[in-house]
Amino acid sequence: QVQLQESGPGLVRPSETLSLTCTVSGGSFNNNYWTWIRQTPGKGLEWIAYIYYTGSTKYNPSLKSRVSISLDTSRSQFSLNLRSVTAADTAKYYCTRGGGWWEDWGQGTLVTVSS
């Protein structure tokens, strides 16, 4: 089973960029989709984006103008950048493996947007 671990700052100032990294161990990047999902008390679970091992990406249109996802296979990592954050982006962010369903999840990292 693949293990995933999110890392990044727990506090981000409004209008700045949220940057998270997910480190993958125990498995290969090949032939996998790597996905970010977030969870807020108000909106529940929300799919953010995925990146295929080839580098192709798909984004949630509601975030598309602000979000990017990238892959670093040499480090077994994939990353999320979310620009111009507001309080509405305060959430627990999960990295996961999968494209249509997600069997492997990181433990999640809480990111608070506040000045």
Interface positions with another protein (CB under 8 A): 43-47, 58, 60-62, 94, 100-103, 105-108
How far apart are CB 93 and another protein at their closest, in Å? Answer: 11
Nearest residue to 82 via CA among 5, 32, 8, 29: 8
Q: How far is the CB of 56 from another protein (least distance, A)?
A: 13
In whole angstroms, how close is the CB of 14 to another protein at the nearest point?
Answer: 25
Residue 39 tokens read as: 């969870």
Between 44 and 74, whose beta carbon lies closer to another protein? 44
In the bound state with another protein, the residue whose beta carbon lies nearer, of 7 and 16, is 7
CB closer to another protein out of 39 and 76:
39
Q: How many residues belong to the chain?
A: 115
> Terminus-to-terminus CA distance in the chain, angstroms?
39
Report the candidate in 71, 85, 75, 78 with the shortest Cα–Cα distance to residue 17. Answer: 85
CB atoms within 10 A of CB 36: 27
Q: How far is the CB of 85 from another protein (least distance, A)?
A: 20
